[in-house]
A and B are shown apart, each in its own frame.
Chain A
Amino acid sequence: MEQAAPDPERLWQPAPLEPLSHPDAGLESMVGEETKGARDEGPGDGTMTENNFSLKKIEISVSEAEKRTGRNAMNMQETYTAYLIETRSVEHNDGQSVLTDSLWRRYSEFELLRNYLLVYYPHIVVPPLPEKRAEFVWHKLSADNMDPDFVERRRIGLENFLLRVASHPILCRDKIFYLFLTQEGNWKETVNETGFQLKADSRLKALNATFRVKNPDKRFIELKHYSDELQSVISHLLRVRARVADRLYGVYKVHGNYGRVFSEWSAIEKEMGDGLQSAGHHMDVYASSIDDILEDEEHYADQLKEYLFYAEALRAVCRKHELMQYDLEMAAQDLASKKQQCEELATGTVRTFSLKGMTTKLFGQETPEQREARIKMLEEQIKEGEQQLKSKNLEGREFVRNAWADIERFKEQKNHDLKEALISYAVMQISMCKKVGFGFSEGTSIFRSAGKFL
């Protein structure tokens, strides 16, 4: 799988976004300078040799969440949750891990990191963050961001995000990511200094390109289509799952009402009393078992949600392609029109309607000198344009190749992860059936054997 090496400069300090290039491409490149420091791929385990930062042999965990209060940008009191990120390096020999870094980050900083990655690695399917606000909530779950269960699930989601980035062959080498894990103070300033916000493509531009692009790569069209379907079907699934959970909760909890009534009834019964007591107790146990069952299901839902959000990441890559392709098409169009103008001026034929042509007709022909000057200018522009087109072409093809490589990697990951998730769902169901079925058997066994009566 070919990987474009990231700009070496950028690894050490924020650098302007440069088009990616591959040293072995064998193509002329406008930005050939970039290749001078082309890094080697590095050893397969993704170590950054420069500072012995062996990412694969790093353990990252988001181990705690804490409520904090502080003042925000508008100097107003706010409450937020901070998450403790601990990084451990694993010693080669004995497998022991040593805590190397530990700092606190809040959700908005994660968002900042991700937005940065989106801008600087548009050809990568960037892992998504866990949801900002609780969605697909069924009634018992709180939609409150401060709710401890939500915070806990978010903690796991954030950890998952960091692990995904750290295990990505390209993203793991990014310096900003490294600093995110290691430099508590000033990190925000450092990110902002990269000026990545300025580099970000405007949404409007992207929308425009999406509508007007004529010849995007077919694979990207299919991918966009797929990501729309994926998003739609997973949303639907999560919605229905939430409703099913709600109903199931109702069924179990109503059974709980039997408990107290049976217990009270058993007081007036003689032979049947024990049976009723036992059945009543069992009903209570049954009713309370649903809480754990649904808790486990939430983790399953979170796994699906991750891929729901991944769909958006896929679409972002498609958009970037469309933008680049549109840019290319526009540049080609522009070049073609300039060439034509030039030709017309040179041969003196006016085949197309132009303002110059009109004014000439109205106000008289221009002098040969003027015409020469114009032709010269156009010729220069054409030369420039050809170069630009070439480089854009190159960029475009680079992008497609690199993006597609990452997409293939993503597909493998997705198939694997979702299959695991579905299997874990089955395992959950099995364990639930065993537990509850056994409970019914136990809870009513007295009932059934007490006083056989004809």
Chain B
Amino acid sequence: MAEVSWICKRTVVSTKPVEAGKFCPLSVLDRIMEHNHVRVVLYYRCPKERKAGESIRMLRESLAELLSAYPIVTGRLLKTAEGHWMIKCNDAGVRMVEARAKGSVDKWLQNFDREKELNLVHWEPMFHKLYFWSTFYVQLTEFEEGGLAIGLSCGHLLSDPICVTIFIKAWADMTLNGKMVTPPLFHRLPRRRQCNETTNPQPFPELINYYKSTLEKPVPVVQAKQTTIKIAFGDEMVRSCIAMSHAPGSPDEPSPTPFQALAGLFWVGISKIKGLKNGLITMSICLDMRKVLGLDKGFFGNCMVYNQVPGDGIEEYELSKAANAIREVVDTMDAEGIMNLIEWMEGKADQFSCLMNGYDLICVNLEHVDSYSAIFEDNFKPIHASYYIEPTVGEGMILVLPSPLAKGSFSRVVMITLPEDEAINLLEDKLIQQFSPTILMMADKKHTTANSDP
């Protein structure tokens, strides 16, 4: 018995027409993510007197209003003369699916898994005639007994999860107040200022090497069925994890951030589950570079960079070494290095046909993503937020997300995607258990077929 049933699918267009002949180029960081897509689900409670369909209608109208400021979202993919992707702003709109779900949103959140959650966010893989393929999909699901789920999916070519969250926040501002707090900015990534010839042109080759090696790999094939679990760590638990990750005997070194501590914890844990004996599994971290590059908050596009963290020589239970290794890599990713990388990538004339996060264990830092301030109606904050970066075909993916509690707290929510049996084993691991986290979403127990994408 299907819990989520479709009402209809339609296209939402902006309220103001786009002038003809507008094109938006995509940066190298955008184009490298061609084979990925992002899915976000936000859950809300609704006022009791709300009639069926009213929330959806209200949101649809405010989305149409918002899209007038985002011609790139309503455009379609086209290839430039050089063979790179770009967006033609042809005012074609975004697809919207309206659906209905049984029960209430709270009941749903007590008993849901990856498969059920992905039913709340519609996605259509790129089809042959790309000019008619919408890059953004919105799904609005009303719960019969109260509540609303907003699902947004988009090609990673256009935006990363942080950008998607900014878009949702702008939508919330538009619905609540009729105007955006942070209007979007569409511009190129910053360029390196012309400097002396004498300086070393590539001071940080590791980053470029990592990208180089990834680009040369073929697109991997999906192997074992993956599942996602969601774990919440309270403020106290994260603090104790940080304390544990802090290398003893080096009080001058800065304390690991919650991301570094949790990433280190799961790195160690997952390596153990996978049965690695010498050292930890290769992990890549993915960080937001907006602050590093000095970009404005409204920047629209991809700005997350991956880098590898070497795991050799770290034994299991050596949490502090793991966290330290991560911190070292984070520190090397500065503006200079990123701009070098961008320059190098732009120099590569061929297209990027790799899958960026398809090999190693990936750990993405989304802890400062602003999803809980996307308030569509007074006094109704999101009660839950889920993020997915698909497809997950590598060793696994860890997303460190903020928690719904007060800002400034160290509590975090972690979403981990692993092959099914590994996920179940991870939950029972002693190292994880000692922090007594709350399990928000369990692994899919049933062996059913994968989500059917229309």
Is this pair of chains taken from one and the same complex? Answer: no
B residues neighboring A (CB under 8 Å):
none
A residues neighboring B (CB under 8 Å):
none
